[in-house]
Structure 1
Amino acid sequence: MKKLFFLLSIFSIAYPVQIFSQPIPVQFTINTRVQRHAISPYIYGTNQNMTGSERFTVFRQGGNRMTGYNWENNFSNAGADWYHSSDNYLTWVVGIPSSQERIPGIVVTRFVEQNNAAGAKSLATLQMAGYVARDGRQMVTEAQTAPSVRWREVKFRKQAPFSLNPDTTDAFVYMDEQVHFLINRFGLSSEGGIWGYSLDNEPALWPFTHPRIHPLAPTYREISDKGITLSHTIKRLDPGALVFGPVLYGISAYINFQDASDAATEGIGYDWFISYYLHRMKKASDTCGFRLLDVLDLHWYPEARGDNRITESNATTAADIEARLQAPRTLWDTGYYENSWIGQWRKEYLPLIPVIRKSINTFYPGTKLAFTEYTYGGGNHISGGLAQADVLGIFGRYDIFAAMHWLTGSSDYISSGYRLYRNYDGAGGSFGDTSVFAGTSDKVNSSVYASVTGPADSSLHIVVINKSTTSSLSGTFSITAGTNYPACKIWGMNKNSTSLYYAGLYAVTGNSFTITIPALTAYHIVLDPNFEVSSPLNNVFDNLRVYPVPAAGEVYIEIPDHVHGIQSARLVAPDGRIRHLTSDMFTVEANRIVLQTAKINLPSGMYILDFDTPEGRLKGKLLMQKE
Structure 2
Amino acid sequence: MPRARIRVALLATTLLATSATAIGTGTAQAAELSLSVDLTAPSHPISPYVYGMNFADETLAEELRLPVRRWGGNATTRYNFRLDTTNRASDWYFENIAGENADPSALPDGSETDRFVDQDRRTGTDTILTVPLIGWAPKERAKACGFSVEKYGPQQSTDYWAPDCGNGVKPDGTYITGNDPHDTSVEIGPEYVTDWMAHLRGRYGDAAHGGVRFYNLDNEPDIWHSTHRDVHPAGASYDEMRDRTYSIAGAVKAADPDAATLGPVGWGWSSITLSGSDQQRCAIEGCWSNPPDMAAHGGVPFGEWYLRQMQAYEKSHGVRILDYYDNHWYPQGSGVSGGDPGNAETQALRLRQTRTLWDRTYTDESWINQPVYLIPRMKEMIAANYPGTKVAITEYSFGAIGSLNGALTQADVLGIFGREGADLATLWAPPAPADPGAYAFRMYLNYDGKGGRFGDTSVRSTSTDQSRLAVYGATRSGDGALTMMVVNKTGSDLAAPLTITGATPGGTAQVYRYSGADLTGIHREADLPLRAASQRPSTTSPAHATSHASGASPAHAAPATTVSTTFPANSITELVILDTVPPCAPADLDAGRVTATSVTLTWPRATDNVGVTGYEVWRTSAAGTVKATTAATTLTLNGLTPGQRYTLWVRAHDAAGNLSPKSRTIRVTTPRR
Bin for the TM-score computed over the shorter chain:
0.7 to 0.9
Greater Cα shift, 224-233 or 145-154: 145-154
**2:90 matches 1:74:** no
Q: Secondary structure at the match of 1:108?
A: helix
Aligned residue runs from structure 1 range 213-612, under 5 A? 213-258=231-276, 259-260=278-279, 263-270=293-300, 272-305=301-334, 309-342=335-368, 344=369, 346-347=370-371, 350-407=372-429, 412-454=435-477, 458-469=480-491, 471-481=492-502, 483-496=504-517, 497-510=519-532, 511-530=561-580
Query: Per-residue deviation at 1:97?
Result: 4.6
Task: Decide whether the 8 Å contact of 2:431 with 2:438 is kept in 1.
Answer: no
CA distance in 2, matches of 1:370, 1:72: 29
Residues 139-179 of structure 1 show CA distances to partners (whole Å, capped at 9, x for unaligned) of 4143694542532211113xxxxxxxxxxxxxxxx111111
* AA at the equivalent of 1:357: K
1:47 aligns with 2:54: yes
For 1:77-226, list aligned pairs within 5 A: 77-88=87-98, 91-92=99-100, 96-98=101-103, 102-104=107-109, 106-142=111-147, 145-148=179-182, 150-157=184-191, 174-226=192-244
1:519 corresponds to which letter in structure 2? A
Q: Which digits, 9 at most, give the CA deviation of each residue in 1:327-359, with x for residues without a partner?
A: 1111111211232111x2x44xx2222222111
Shift of 1:35: 2.7
Distance in 2 between residues matched to 1:338 and 1:498, nearest whole Å = 33
State the shift of 1:265 in Å: 3.5
Unmatched segments (≥5 aa) in structure 1 = 1-18, 158-173, 532-627
Deviation at 1:55, TM superposition (A): 2.7
Separation in 2, partners of 1:204, 1:138: 27
Give the total of aligned pairs.
Answer: 482
Work out the CA distance in 1 between the residues paired with 2:309 and 2:577. 47
Mapped to 1, the partners of 2:106 and 2:514 lie a distance apart of 42
Q: Secondary structure at the match of 1:300?
A: coil
What is the alpha-carbon distance in structure 1 between the residues aligned to residue 194 and residue 404 of structure 2? 45
Tell me, in whole angstroms, the C-alpha distance in 2 between the residues paired with 1:264 and 1:42: 33
Shift of residue 315 of structure 1? 4.2
CA contact 2:146–2:181 (8 Å) conserved in 1: no
Provide, for residues 431-453 of structure 1, a one-character-per-residue CA deviation record: whole Å limited to 9, x for no partner. 01111111111112011100112
Deviation of residue 138 (structure 1)? Answer: 2.5
Asked whether the 8 Å contact 1:189–1:240 carries over to 2, the reply is yes
Distance 2:297 2:456 in 1: 39
Which residue of the partner structure matches residue 35 of structure 2?
Answer: 28
Distance 2:205 2:499 in 1: 49
1:83 Cα offset (Å) = 1.3
Q: CA deviation at 1:57?
A: 0.7
User: Retained in 2: the 8 A contact 1:140–1:212?
Assistant: no
Following TM superposition, by how much is the alpha carbon of 1:101 offset from its aligned partner in structure 2, in angstroms? 6.9
Which whole-Å CA distance do the structure 2 matches of 1:267 and 1:301 have between them? 28
**Alpha-carbon shift at residue 421 of structure 1 (Å):** 0.3
The one-letter code sitting in structure 2 at the alignment partner of 1:178 is W
Would the aligned equivalents of 2:76 and 2:86 in 1 still touch at CA under 8 Å?
yes
Contact 2:27 2:494 in 1 (8 A): no
Contact 2:56 2:430 in 1 (8 A): no
Same amino acid, percent of matched pairs? 31
CA shift, 1:123, in A, is 0.6
Residue 210 of structure 1, CA deviation? 1.2
Equivalent position amino acid for 1:148 in 2: H
Distance 1:194 1:485, change over 3 A: farther
Distance in 2 (alpha carbons) for counterparts of 1:383 and 1:268: 44
CA–CA separation in structure 2 for the residues paired with 1:290 and 1:201: 23
**Cα 1:67–1:529 shift into 2, 3 Å:** closer
Deviation at 1:267, TM superposition (A): 3.5
CA offsets 1:499-538 (integer angstroms, 9 cap, x no match) = 211112121112212100011111011012439xxxxxxx
Partner residue in 2 for 1:59: 69
Other-structure match for 2:668: none
Separation in structure 2 between the aligned mates of residue 386 and residue 354 of structure 1, nearest angstrom: 23
**What CA distance in whole angstroms lies between the structure 1 residues aligned with 2:402 and 2:429?**
11
1:266 Cα offset (Å): 4.1
| 1:22 positional shift | 2.5
Name the SS of the counterpart of 1:404 in structure 2.
strand
Alignment TM-score, normalising by the size of structure 1 = 0.74
Shift of 1:43: 0.7
Q: Shift of the alpha carbon at 1:98? A: 4.5
* Offset of residue 100 of structure 1: 5.9
State how far apart, in whole Å, the 2-side matches of 1:104 and 1:126 are.
17
Unaligned 5+ runs, structure 2: 1-24, 153-178, 282-291, 533-560, 582-673
Structure 2 letter corresponding to 1:23: Q
1:485 is displaced (CA, Å) by 4.9
The answer (yes or no) to whether the contact 1:486–1:529 under 8 Å persists in 2 is: no
Q: Is the 8 A contact 2:26 2:493 kept in 1?
A: no
Question: Root-mean-square deviation (CA), in Å?
Answer: 2.1
**What secondary structure does 1:287 align onto?**
helix
| 338 and 485 in structure 1: CA distance in 2 versus 1, 3 angstrom threshold | farther
> CA shift at 1:20, angstroms?
5.4
Q: Which moved more, 1:197-206 or 1:98-107?
A: 98-107
Secondary structure, in 3 states, of the residue corresponding to 1:76? strand
Q: Distance in 2 between matches of 1:115 and 1:132?
A: 25
Output the CA distance in 2 between the equivalents of 1:237 and 1:484. Answer: 55
Q: Does structure 2 retain, via aligned residues, the 8 Å contact 1:492–1:501?
A: yes
> 1:43–1:400: 8 Å Cα contact kept in structure 2?
yes
Asked if 1 retains the 8 angstrom alpha-carbon contact of 2:513 and 2:523, the reply is yes
TM-score (normalizing by structure 2) = 0.69
2: CA distance between counterparts of 1:80 and 1:455? Answer: 47
SS of the aligned residue for 2:188 comes to strand
